Amino acid sequence: MLIYIIIKGRIPFLFFMKALNLPEKELRYLYKEKDMTTYEIADFYNCCQGAVWQYLKKHNIERLPQGRKSVIIDAFELKDLYINKKMSSRKIAKLYNCSYTAIDGKIKRLGLPTRSLAEAHIIYPRKDFEGDHAEKAYIIGFAMGDLRVRKSYINSETIHADCASTKREQIKLIKELFQGYGRIWIKKQPNRDNYIQIECYFNLSFDFLLKKRVLADKWISEDKELFCAFLAGFTDAEGSIFIDKKGLAFYSLGNYNHRLLRQIRSKLMSLGVVCSKMTEAKTKGKNFGTGFIHNENYWQLRVNRKIDLLKLFDLIGHRLRHEKRIRDMHRAIDNIDFRNKKYGYINM
């Protein structure tokens, strides 16, 4: 029956109204308060202008006089606001006290490149990632250790990375890594003592961080220099370099991802850095006073011998960026030098 009516060109108005359903409150707001014309409202609802007139009548909305003066805005000024200052058509419309569809129409008529809805919501300036492969490998390593990375929403053109830490040097490093690429937001967490939250927003040139990795990518693991850059990033995020109670220097990586730690251990061994056997802590399901229940057991990889520590530092030392890791590495080197002078070059 519907097909017959369409062919005959006799679509009953009541049937069309039921399918379209322009709510009175919304229609009154668009027509009276936003000062949109019936043509603009029709474009908004993707319907014909006649249907809008019928609904105005149905809802007893007083019709405004025809021939209202259209908004006047200089083409160069519109281009400056929309293209250079990145203002949305809604904000420009508010500035000129008119409907945003009127601004959209002028943008189209001027042939200005329109922005997607995702682009229109971007307020702060963004910059494309410009690092080389080593920089990318470092950031991937750091992100796997200490960042949660995701899109703001499924079709977003914004990538969002965040971290919470009690370590100010960690927050400082994250800020330094990303501050040239987009907005950085830092704030103390209200319900967690001494925790600082950092949020970073950048464009899709950082989409390499969205991949859900368990292991380092092949292009990283098969290249010595890129692997060392990756390991430096992971060390800055999850590593420790320390002097134990016996006065011995150690390097340690701790993480729940035992597969990644095994990959790192295997690669280090192939580079001549002997690592001790990995250890597993039974942490699953336990709370150690942090307020969080551990979902998995915690694994640890360590490098103990003096000669292996020096080899490791030679590989990643100049790539470390975390201020504490760098200080601790120099303390460990001094410790090894002191022990060599005092006890001889054992394990060297």
Other residues' Cβ atoms within 10 Å of the Cβ of residue 9: 6
pLDDT reported for residue 6:
41
Residue 316 class from Cβ within 10 Å (0-12 exposed, 13-18 middle, 19+ buried)? Answer: buried
User: Does 155 lie in the same domain as 87?
Assistant: no
Domain presence at residue 84: yes
Task: Determine the Cα angle at 255 with ends 253 and 260, to 5°.
Answer: 85
User: Does 249 lie in the same domain as 159?
Assistant: yes
Last residue of a domain, one of 38, 53, 68: 68
**Which parts of the chain have pLDDT scores under 70?**
1-19, 33-35, 64-72, 114-124, 190-191, 288-294, 346-348
Last residue of a domain, one of 115, 144, 177: 115
Domain presence at residue 123: no
For the CA atoms of the chain, what is the radius of gyration? 31
Domain presence at residue 218: yes
Number of domains the chain is built from: 3
User: Does 320 lie in the same domain as 292?
Assistant: yes
H or E element, residue 289:
none
Domain presence at residue 121: no
Domain presence at residue 103: yes
Domain presence at residue 122: no
* Domain encompassing residue 339: 133-343
User: Does 252 lie in the same domain as 158?
Assistant: yes
3 state SS of 201 = strand
User: Does 96 lie in the same domain as 37?
Assistant: no
User: Does 188 lie in the same domain as 211?
Assistant: yes
User: Does 91 lie in the same domain as 1?
Assistant: no
Model confidence pLDDT, tens digit, residues 193-244? 788 999 999 999 999 999 999 999 999 999 999 999 999 999 999 999 999 9
User: Does 219 lie in the same domain as 102?
Assistant: no
Please give the distance of CA 124 from its chain centroid, rounded to a whole number.
14
